A and B are shown apart, each in its own frame.
Chain A
């Protein structure tokens, strides 16, 4: 609902820019409605424990050799919007909006127009929502933003969305949001606030540790389904069993999964499960986090030693990975978590100078924020057993030369 609210504000802002003749063309009411509804619906395709579920599906697909066709949550969102038996499509049609157009906007990879920027850009409705909401709900002190001041200073400009490095060859321009120079400091605060949410909350070692446990549980369920064996504590027609069965990734099966269903299974595993399944379920219910060894924190500012540690841990626990030992990696830049070659072009925050030219926010000599090109690595090993953790600490000590 917060994203929906912000989307409505951004659409009004687009109307304002057009009425003030700062952007050429007519305001497109139909397209505006599509973007507002796409913002409202953009996350309905998340599975239970969203990140952990997607991560587990990736591991399961790699083991099954089906990773090339792995569908991400955006694809499920689009399917749910298009799905004939769903009430969503009917509601959208009644509102005069074509469901397929909403689904296409949610799925669009490459910036299309300023209405797409409401859903995906450096200043999209989702970001504006979660930066404030997650900070409030988690109680993180750092990272206040001046949303009103930012909104006042948002403009629409043509932004090059091609990969950087070609000196203008094959530049591809699309309308998106930028911020006026006078709001540069507020824009820096906005990016920094999001960065701090990543370091303090989303990528916190305990958060990620519990996500690893939940992902491991999903993998164990899929493994037992692949073996044709029933998992103690889980009915054969349980939604999780159905979803992880061959050709089970249907919309119907996906819709049957939510956090409540998974928590129910976790309780059953804790009572009637066996081995790793029961151990992980009990850990989750009793909030017993796994042991964590953080590669970067073991050798701060020493990338060579971090790499050596990573390699040695990889060798030491090769046979135990995804069994008793879990490896978690993430890359973070000022523009958020990076998955793939680079941050998405439309997520770069551009500042509009008084002469109308654009400049990327980290390219100012007096910037207060770090260069966005500096990626920060997060690599952690998680252990269910203290003995494995002790072995890992011995590897750290050996690299330190103790």
Chain B
């Protein structure tokens, strides 16, 4: 059975900001051994699952969680997934210390860093390209600058899923 996304949002503090953040968090959780049962393929922002997107839409339509629409200061729209935090399930997989710590680390990272971290993992372990460093710069360009690539790699090391 696939993971329960509202439980994930609850465990992440009741709010996950943006589709990119949610998708990359679930991809990285999958790599940590959480049995998400979603299959991922590579898209513009890195690993992405159609099945996860569909489950999220179901959860919103059937009011298992909220999708709040907001805008960036330049008006660019984005969505925030929200749940109440009253009945956090400590028995769920997200309550495990390792997973809980991983969720906190991912929530402290920007969406761009999560995009880079998930892409590094994908390039190194799924596509198995010769040099993930070169391929990352080729695909992500400006996003890898200003220390963001290093932050993404540090996150993967923290999660213990970094390439050698």
Contact = CB atoms under 8 A, between A and B. Distances in A.
A163 B43 CA distance: 14
B141 A340 contact: no
Nearest to A357: B74
Contact of B21 (A163, A304, A357): A163
Interface stretch (A7-15, A82-90, A283-291, A359-367): A359-367
Given A170-B112, A373-B69, A109 B44 contact: yes
Interface in B86-134: 110-113, 115, 126-127
Interface stretch (A62-70, A146-154, A226-234, A380-388): A62-70
B78 A373 contact: yes
Contacts of A304: 61-62
Nearest to B71: A363
Interface string A29-69: 00000000000000000000000000000000000000111
Given A67-B41, A304-B61, A341-B19, A163 B115 contact: yes
Given A341-B19, A360-B71, A348 B58 contact: no
Contacts of A372: 77
Contacts of B148: 170
Contacts of B21: 163, 165
A120 to B, nearest CB: 11
A167 B17 CA distance: 10
Interface in B112-164: 112-113, 115, 126-127, 138-143, 145-146, 148
Nearest to A58: B41
Contacts of B75: 358-363
Nearest to A104: B138
B50 to A, nearest CB: 8
A350 B48 CA distance: 26
A314 to B, nearest CB: 11
Interface in A71-103: none
A162 B69 contact: no
B29 interface: no
A169 interface: yes
Contacts of A307: 58, 61-62
A248 interface: no
Nearest to A377: B57
Nearest to B46: A341
The SS class assigned to the A binding surface is loop
A165 B78 contact: yes
Given A303-B61, A307-B62, A340-B48, A360 B110 contact: no
B79 interface: yes
The residue in A104, A110, A340, A358 that gathers the most chain B C-beta atoms within 10 A of its C-beta is A340
Contacts of A109: 44, 139-141
A163 B74 contact: no
Interface in B27-69: 39, 41-45, 48, 53, 57-58, 61-62, 69
Given A165-B72, A172-B112, A174-B142, A70 B41 contact: yes
Interface of B: 17-21, 23, 39, 41-45, 48, 53, 57-58, 61-62, 69-80, 110-113, 115, 126-127, 138-143, 145-146, 148
Given A163-B111, A174-B142, A341-B19, 4 more contacts: A68-B127, A307-B62, A342-B18, A360-B71
20 contacts: A67-B39, A68-B126, A107-B138, A108-B141, A109-B140, A109-B141, A162-B112, A163-B21, A163-B111, A166-B112, A169-B110, A170-B111, A170-B112, A170-B113, A307-B58, A341-B53, A342-B45, A359-B75, A373-B78, A373-B79
